[in-house]
Amino acid sequence: MTENPGKWNVSDLPDLSGRTAVITGANSGIGFRAAQALAGAGAHVVFAVRDPERGRAAAAKVSGSTEVRRLDLADLASVRAFADGWQGPIDLLINNAGVMMLPERRTEDGFEMQFGTNHLGHFALTNLLLPHVTDRVVTLASNAHRMGDRRINFDDVNLTHGYNPTRAYAQSKLANLLFTLELQRRLTEAGSPVRALSAHPGWAATNLQSHSANPVVRLVMGLGNVLVAQDDKGGALPTLYAATQDLPGASYTGPGGLGEWRGAPTLVGRDRAASDPAAARRLWTLSEELTGVTWALGVGAV
């Protein structure tokens, strides 16, 4: 693991003039802070959001070039519509949006909400947009991928038997890392210059923590937001670091402080389950079957 020797910050962003970044869930939290920073560095930033009105309100607070487009990751028809309407290059695709520890719910297509939104929606979006991507794909994961039984439940990926909000969230975040691993393998095999990376924000105080199905968990997370967490600007730094620095494909970035909760961004480790190439390929195949979206570049089959 390579450590970041300095205190890398937003001021270290390169000039991004002429570049286009698409950020899912850019209307709030670390997605908004990433959008704000990238636009401030000269990029044209597309707010890909479920609620365009909220997206426009957020974009109005950003100094720089922005636009807002509707995207509901919990509805594959919306994902396809977004991709069908896209023209031109995308330098940076940042798969940021997500839901966390929700009560049991289903997406429009019948998938468990956290797996369907956090993984399947981004899986479909990335493959549909990949012919436009010129530089890299950054997908937001979490140290929660280390929680639970540390595996994808391939026999019951929707967790219909014994749903647990924390387990579902952990599975979706493990899926994000496995997706990045297999995406990079396929990009390399296809001879593509595009890189796939993952990032996690540490413990960042955002509105995600207020959505837990468990009131005790909400209380603990609320206290953590006050006592432990860094703010959303700090939480966005690993995303920005992964999106703009010269890092190897399949890298994973996060805060470099104690427990990876906060601190300057650097390369970080991951659970062994998140580095399993066989699980990554199996997840990819399953995701293609579930979404009906297949590998975009014509190479990369197992």
Name 266's bridge partners: 254
Classify 210 as helix, strand or coil: helix
Give one DSSP letter per residue of 50-96, joined into a string. Answer: S-HHHHHHHHTTSSSEEEEEE--TT-HHHHHHHHHT--S-EEEEEE-
> Phi and psi at residue 149, in whole multiples of 5°?
-95, 10
Find the catalytic residue in 163, 169, 241, 252: 169
**Element containing residue 48 per DSSP (H, E):** strand 44-49
Q: Kind of pairing, strands 65-70 and 44-49? A: parallel
Under the phi-then-psi rule, with left for phi > 0, alpha for psi from -120 to 50, and beta for the rest, what region is 119?
Answer: alpha
Is 169 tagged catalytic?
Answer: yes
Q: Is 176 in contact with 182 (CB distance < 8 Å)? A: no
Active site residues: 169
